[in-house]
Structure 1
Amino acid sequence: MKLLRALDKGILKLEEFILSYAIILIALMVISKPITRTLLGYTLPFADEVSQISVTIATFMGISYAARKGRHISMSAFYDMAPFKVRKVLAIFIPFLTAIILFVLAYYSTLYVLDIKDSGRVTSALQMPMYILYMFIPIGFFLGGIQFIRNMWINIRDKDNVYLGTDAKDYNDLENKEVEKTGHL
Structure 2
Amino acid sequence: MSESQTQSQTDTTSADDAALGEYRSTLPGVLGGIDNTIARIEAVLLAVGVLLMAANTIANVVGRFVFQNSLFFSEELNRILIIMITFAGISYAARHGRHIRMSAIYDAMPPRLRKLMMIVITLVTAVFMFGLCWYAFNYIMTQAGRGRVLPSLQIPVWITLVWVPVGFFMTGMQYLLTAIKNILEKDIFLSTAVLEGYDEDEMEV
TM range (shorter): 0.7 to 0.9
Q: 2:73 aligns with which of 42, 46, 66?
A: 46
Match in the other structure for 1:101: 128
Match in the other structure for 1:180: none
Q: 1:133 aligns with which of 142, 160, 169?
A: 160
Match in the other structure for 2:190: 164
Q: 1:22 aligns with which of 49, 52, 65?
A: 49
Q: Which residue identity is paired with 2:149?
A: V
SS in 2 for 1:35: helix
Q: Are 1:8 and 2:35 an aligned pair?
A: yes
Q: CA deviation at 1:29?
A: 2.7
| Structure 2 unaligned blocks of 5 or more | 1-27
Task: Give the percent of matched residue pairs that are identical in Structure 1 and Structure 2.
Answer: 35
Alignment partners' CA distance in 2, 1:176 and 1:65: 17
- Answer whether contact 1:18 1:58 (CA < 8 A) is retained: yes
TM-score, normalised with respect to structure 2: 0.75
Match in the other structure for 1:64: 91
- Answer whether contact 1:162 1:173 (CA < 8 A) is retained: no
> Residue 76 and residue 44 in structure 1: after superposition, are their counterparts in 2 closer, same or farther (change >3 A)?
farther
* Deviation string, structure 1 residues 17-54 (Cα, Å, up to 9, x no partner): 11111111222233333332211223211111111111
Match in the other structure for 1:182: none
Structure with higher helix content: 1
> Residue 77 and residue 30 in structure 1: after superposition, are their counterparts in 2 closer, same or farther (change >3 A)?
farther
Q: How many residues align?
A: 176
* Deviation string, structure 1 residues 110-149 (Cα, Å, up to 9, x no partner): 1100111111111111111211111111111112111111
TM-score, normalised with respect to structure 1: 0.82
Deviates more, 1:56-65 or 1:4-13: 4-13
Q: Which residue identity is paired with 1:98?
A: T
- CA-atom RMSD in angstroms: 2.5
